[in-house]
């Protein structure tokens, strides 16, 4: 999956300052940029809105009234920001709570740099794949809209062959197509017109035509 070549920026959301400092050191050693360190879900939302990091490492237990999974759910739904959940708890209740936020990864503390790298790269690839799929869906929807336009009645002037658009303006066929379907038009001559044009040229150059045109 193609991703930006610039280092990913990662926000650390961890209420233990020593652990947050260790994670920051690990991220820098792995070549990532650190977008910041905060200790609450509320502050994480503010910082993501302001700096738009590539990914958030989110502890479950935080300062403030918002737990990690709740903040992660908002980050996914409102900011489309991938979140990897961090926790030192191994019980299933905690795990199910984290799953409810649809995280892009789940890391149990303590973890080493290799585990951190794998979790981040998988999350970033998954997010990139989702963005690509959403872009493709938008392209398909736009194509379907174009098909619907083609299927509708298109008012054409019977004299000059211009087309009336939705705003009531009459446009040339070329301008109408380039506006509605974002296409570049080239001009040529179809076989029938080419044959007709040659016949006209031959007729104009025939001896009888030249004689009749002389005074």
Residues 173-199 have pLDDT tens digits of 778 777 776 667 777 778 887 777 777
What distance in Å separates the CA atoms of residue 160 and residue 165, rounded to the nearest whole number? 15
Pairing of strands 105-108, 163-164: unpaired
Flag whether pLDDT at 115 surpasses 80: yes
The answer to whether 173 touches 161, Cβ cutoff 8 Å, is yes
Question: Tell me, what's the pLDDT at 209?
Answer: 55
Region 114-127: mean pLDDT is: 95
Neighbouring C-alpha atoms within 13 Å toward the C-beta of 28: 9
CATH class of 9-133: alpha beta
pLDDT band at 140 (very low <50, low <70, confident <90, very high): confident
Which tens digits make up the pLDDT trace of 79-92? 999 999 998 877 77
Flag whether pLDDT at 212 surpasses 80: no
Region 156-174: mean pLDDT is: 81
- Residue that has been written with the tokens 């302001």 in this structure: 50
**What value does the mean pLDDT of the chain take?**
84
pLDDT band at 4 (very low <50, low <70, confident <90, very high): low
| Structure-token pair, residue 193 | 């017109």
Which tens digits make up the pLDDT trace of 37-96? 999 999 999 999 999 999 999 999 899 899 899 999 999 999 999 999 998 877 777 777
What distance in Å separates the CA atoms of residue 207 and residue 213, rounded to the nearest whole number? 10
0.85 surpassed by pTM: no
Domain ranges of the chain: 9-133, 154-215
Count the neighbouring beta carbons within 10 Å of the beta carbon of residue 184. Answer: 7
Nearest to 83 by CA among 100, 66, 104, 99: 104
Question: Tell me, what's the pLDDT at 113?
Answer: 96
């Amino acid at each position: 999956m193609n991703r930006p070549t610039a280092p990913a920026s990662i926000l650390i959301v961890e209420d233990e300052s020593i652990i947050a400092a260790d994670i920051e050191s690990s991220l820098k050693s792995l070549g990532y940029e650190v977008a910041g360190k905060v200790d609450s879900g509320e502050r994480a939302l503010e910082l993501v809105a302001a700096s738009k990091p590539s990914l958030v490492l989110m502890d479950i237990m935080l300062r403030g009234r918002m737990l990690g999974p709740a903040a992660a759910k908002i980050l996914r739904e409102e900011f489309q920001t991938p979140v990897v959940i961090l926790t030192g708890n191994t019980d299933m209740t905690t795990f199910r709570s984290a799953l409810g936020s649809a995280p892009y990864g789940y890391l149990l503390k303590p973890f080493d740099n290799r585990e951190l790298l794998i979790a981040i790269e998988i999350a970033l690839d998954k997010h990139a794949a989702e963005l690509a799929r959403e872009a493709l869906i938008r392209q398909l929807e736009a194509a379907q809209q174009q098909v619907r336009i083609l299927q509708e009645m298109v008012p054409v002037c019977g004299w000059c062959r211009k087309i009336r658009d939705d705003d009531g303006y009459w446009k040339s066929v070329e301008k109408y197509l380039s506006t509605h379907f974002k296409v570049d038009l080239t001009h040529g001559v179809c076989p029938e017109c080419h044959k007709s044009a040659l016949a006209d040229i031959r007729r104009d150059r025939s001896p009888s035509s030249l004689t009749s045109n002389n005074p």
